[in-house]
Chain A
Amino acid sequence: MNGDASPIVRLMRALLIPVLALIMALLLGAVIMLVFGDDPVKAYRGLLYGAFGSGRGWATTVRKMAPFILTGLSVATAFKAGLFNIGAAGQFLMGTIFSVFVGINFQGLPVFIHLPLALLAGLLGGMLWGAIPGLLKVTTGAHEVITTIMLNYVASLFAGWTVYAGGSQGQTPGPLWDPTAGPISETPDVLPSAQLPWIFGPPYRVHWGIVLVLAVVVLIWWLLYRTTIGFEIRTVGQNLKASKYAGIRVNWTIVLTMILAGGLAGLAGGIETLGVNHKFAPEFSGSVGFDGITIALLGQTHPFGVVLAALLFGALDAGGAKMQFDSGVAADIIQVIQALILAFVAAPAIVRSIFRLKRTPEQVKPTVSTSWSGPG
């Protein structure tokens, strides 16, 4: 660590690449809009005002942030142990399904039992889906990149099956399907006793889940940087052989990290379902699990950095409608900008060479995925 550098200098160094990447992405996005004859000033102004220009804009930004923080944190936590968790999308879905299952059943439970139970179910679903690639890695050496990608498909098809409305030729409907929905494949609404209450009700629709999410961020930060387990996770990520030599139970740490990462993504699914959607339909899954990868990298795999990156992604999502409304620019440009950010943070060498930055030996360098070899 940078013993001699002041905290401010260290913070500046950590922020340098992400901020430059964001600037580059926005500028390149502007160039693309100009090429297509759109007005980038109008578009970015709309984006800014859509995300932060009104109470409802802020509310939307904050609401969209919550799942981004948790999936980002999931990927970032795995990175700390040198693991590349591409499975946040599948873990998010399993969390969603587990939460919905508890949420639509158990009529008559009081809120203070039902709601925590439904949230725990989401956590558990994600943990289970994270544990599988962790166990496969330590027992068979199967790389987590491959297994998590595969498990994303399994989760997506499983989730689709649970709400399947049945076919016209008498195929059996899925167990969680809402019979009153007719031909639509979706679950019933979760019972009111399992819904996260509003901080600000409609049209703001900000729920208490965001507070819970921020508490989880602090908890994960404490776990990673203030406990023995966290130290072991980070050591395994930085040098596998050395940590083995030092007596760290590497296999156990890898499985634990994957369980933790899966749980975070699963909780994201649970909170999004119990707080916003109140039910599950296959088209709700979205890209929040994959966005977690960009958010973790942009946040330099630090819990607080992840919050900032999630704020940015929440704002990009929330401002998109207003941007279209004011400038007529298609909202796809948001995805272009997000992809450009990913490209620039994933390849800091590009940013360094463009801005002629020197690579300082003490550069704050986040641990990301290590080698492709197994732990053996």
Chain B
Amino acid sequence: MFKRGFLVTFTLTLLFALLVSACAAPAAPPAAPAQESGAGEAAQPAAEEAAATDFKVGLVTDVGRINDRSFNQSAWEGVQQAAETLGLPEENVKFIETQDSKDYADNIQQFVEAGFNVIVTVGFALGAATRTAATENPDVFFIGVDQFQVPGEEIPNLVGLIFEEDKAGFLAGALAGHLTKTGTIAAVLGTDLVPPVVAFKEGYEAGARYVKPDITIISTYHPGEISQAFVDPEWGAATAKQAMDQGADVIFGAGGITGNGALQEVAAAAEAGKEVYCIGVDTDQWYTVPAARPCLVSSAMKLITPSVADLIQLAHDGNWPGGGNYVGPVALAPFHDFEDKIPQEVKDDLARIREGLDDGSISTGYGQ
């Protein structure tokens, strides 16, 4: 009897303590911003006048983790970089991980209500919710990563951060063209239903032909629909193997997990002693797919982190570029283990091509 009474009392006391502390404190802590106080009208003029410490930046992820080693993480690192540059206190920089695609609007709204000045939303899927929120809150700056804004439908306080995938692909193709000994290279791609994938492919082929006009290129798109095309590593592996059987010795994997499957298949062949290389996509896949390291010479990267940091800086300084699209830079990732195996003249040529792409003297031919 005593025992039961004790346990019940103990539990209830604990719960009561939790409840009391949960109810009592909201006035005090800095982390609980006053609800609906300045819902939204924090921004434009305030951003310029107020001290840097009043500036707040929030990020809403697509369904998935903040440390996904891909878009969410790169964008978040950009936010953190900007926060460091601007000297923002920790509680002014927050993220919300989206659990369910129905919650995009609710999660964005959390930041709006807390008076955040800049809200970064990551991923194509948040495009519609971001546009709605930007229209409803004209004083808040929105950065939509990978959200193409259709010309003519721009919203002044929303910038879509997009990338020239064809240029990244061109660099990868040039590298592949220099590396191949058999004269045959391959690309294992997500679906051509998604324009950036097509841009990667066209750029890759143009870049390879630029350095080696008579090269043979085996490019294969995933045949399935959009929901399968990027999550089919078995198909990626099988396609990569087929390409290697046909003599390809450099393989570009561009298509999410599907592409990763191709990279791993090539890595296995490289470990077995075959002289084959692979090139990753989007981020430096040296870190995201360690299993690919035996073959991974580089990756065709979209530099999300510095772009997000730059845009936040622009918003803070009152130099917001205005509605529409902001084209972020692309680059090849470091060569890592292959640093010594890549001849200096190849590196020099890649640098020259990079300059040519930047100043317009070299064209990828995509979209023309």
Interface residue ranges, A against B (CB under 8 Å)? 23-24, 26-27, 30, 40-42, 44-46, 48-50, 53-56, 60, 160, 164-169, 171, 182-185, 202-203, 276-277, 281-284, 286, 318, 320-322, 324-328, 330-332, 334, 354-357
Q: Which chain A positions have C-beta within 8 A of B23?
A: 45, 48
B96 and A167 form a contact (CB under 8 A)? no
B35 and A166 form a contact (CB under 8 A)? no
A45 and B26 form a contact (CB under 8 A)? yes
A286 and B226 form a contact (CB under 8 A)? no
Other-chain contact of A165, B22, B35, B36, B225 (Cβ < 8 Å): B225
User: Is B50's CB within 8 Å of the partner chain A?
Assistant: no
Interface residue ranges, B against A (CB under 8 Å)? 3-4, 7-8, 11-12, 14-15, 18, 21-23, 25-26, 29, 31-32, 35-36, 63, 94-97, 99-103, 105-107, 109-111, 113-114, 136, 191-194, 221-227
Q: Which chain B positions have C-beta within 8 A of A282?
A: 227
B32 and A326 form a contact (CB under 8 A)? yes
A276 and B11 form a contact (CB under 8 A)? no
A42 vs B30: C-alpha distance when bound (angstroms): 12
A318 vs B25: C-alpha distance when bound (angstroms): 21
Q: Which chain A positions have C-beta within 8 A of B18?
A: 26, 30, 40-41, 44
Q: Which chain B positions have C-beta within 8 A of A286?
A: 100, 102
Q: How many A-B residue pairs have CB under 8 A?
A: 118
B225 and A44 form a contact (CB under 8 A)? no
B106 and A321 form a contact (CB under 8 A)? yes
A167 and B22 form a contact (CB under 8 A)? no
A26 vs B194: C-alpha distance when bound (angstroms): 44
B14 and A165 form a contact (CB under 8 A)? no
Shortest CB distance A61–B (Å): 11
Other-chain contact of B22, A44, A182, A321 (Cβ < 8 Å): A44
A202 vs B109: C-alpha distance when bound (angstroms): 11
Q: Which chain B positions have C-beta within 8 A of A325?
A: 94, 96, 110-111, 114
Shortest CB distance A175–B (Å): 15
Question: Quick one: closest B residue to A318, CB to CB?
Answer: B106
Shortest CB distance A104–B (Å): 17
Question: Quick one: closest B residue to A281, CB to CB?
Answer: B101
B96 and A356 form a contact (CB under 8 A)? no
B15 and A27 form a contact (CB under 8 A)? yes
Question: Quick one: closest B residue to A332, CB to CB?
Answer: B99
Question: Quick one: closest B residue to A53, CB to CB?
Answer: B35
Main SS class of interface, B: helix
Known: A48-B23, A321-B96, A355-B8. A169 touches B223 (CB 8 A): yes
Q: Which chain A positions have C-beta within 8 A of B221?
A: 168
Known: A54-B35, A167-B191, A325-B110. A45 touches B97 (CB 8 A): no
Known: A325-B110, A326-B31, A356-B3. A167 touches B224 (CB 8 A): yes
Q: Which chain B positions have C-beta within 8 A of A48?
A: 22-23
Other-chain contact of A49, B32, B101, B226 (Cβ < 8 Å): B32
Shortest CB distance A321–B (Å): 5
A49 and B191 form a contact (CB under 8 A)? no
Q: Which chain A positions have C-beta within 8 A of B14?
A: 27
A60 and B106 form a contact (CB under 8 A)? yes
B11 and A330 form a contact (CB under 8 A)? no
Question: Quick one: closest B residue to A356, CB to CB?
Answer: B4
Question: Quick one: closest A residue to B36, CB to CB?
Answer: A54
Given A282-B227, A334-B99, 20 more A-B residue pairs with CB atoms under 8 Å apart are A48-B22, A48-B23, A56-B36, A60-B106, A165-B226, A167-B225, A168-B221, A171-B225, A276-B102, A283-B63, A321-B96, A322-B110, A324-B95, A324-B97, A325-B94, A330-B97, A331-B97, A354-B7, A355-B8, A356-B3
Shortest CB distance B107–A (Å): 5
Q: Which chain B positions have C-beta within 8 A of A183?
A: 191, 193-194, 226
Q: Which chain A positions have C-beta within 8 A of B25?
A: 41, 45
Known: A53-B35, A164-B225, A167-B223. A41 touches B21 (CB 8 A): yes
Shortest CB distance A328–B (Å): 8
Question: Quick one: closest A residue to B99, CB to CB?
Answer: A331
A321 vs B99: C-alpha distance when bound (angstroms): 9
Shortest CB distance A182–B (Å): 7
Known: A49-B32, A54-B35. A321 touches B11 (CB 8 A): no
A167 vs B221: C-alpha distance when bound (angstroms): 11
Shortest CB distance A323–B (Å): 10
Other-chain contact of B21, A23, A45, A182, A281 (Cβ < 8 Å): A45
B26 and A49 form a contact (CB under 8 A)? yes
A321 and B110 form a contact (CB under 8 A)? yes
A365 vs B32: C-alpha distance when bound (angstroms): 42
A231 vs B77: C-alpha distance when bound (angstroms): 61
Name, among A27, A203, A286, the residue most crowded by chain B CB atoms within 10 Å (CB to CB): A203
Q: Which chain B positions have C-beta within 8 A of A50?
A: 110
A267 vs B224: C-alpha distance when bound (angstroms): 32
A203 and B136 form a contact (CB under 8 A)? yes
Other-chain contact of B7, A60, A324, A355 (Cβ < 8 Å): A355
A169 vs B32: C-alpha distance when bound (angstroms): 52
A60 vs B15: C-alpha distance when bound (angstroms): 25
Question: Quick one: closest A residue to B7, CB to CB?
Answer: A355
Known: A41-B22, A331-B99. A185 touches B15 (CB 8 A): no
A56 and B22 form a contact (CB under 8 A)? no
Name, among A41, A284, A330, the residue most crowded by chain B CB atoms within 10 Å (CB to CB): A41
Shortest CB distance A161–B (Å): 10
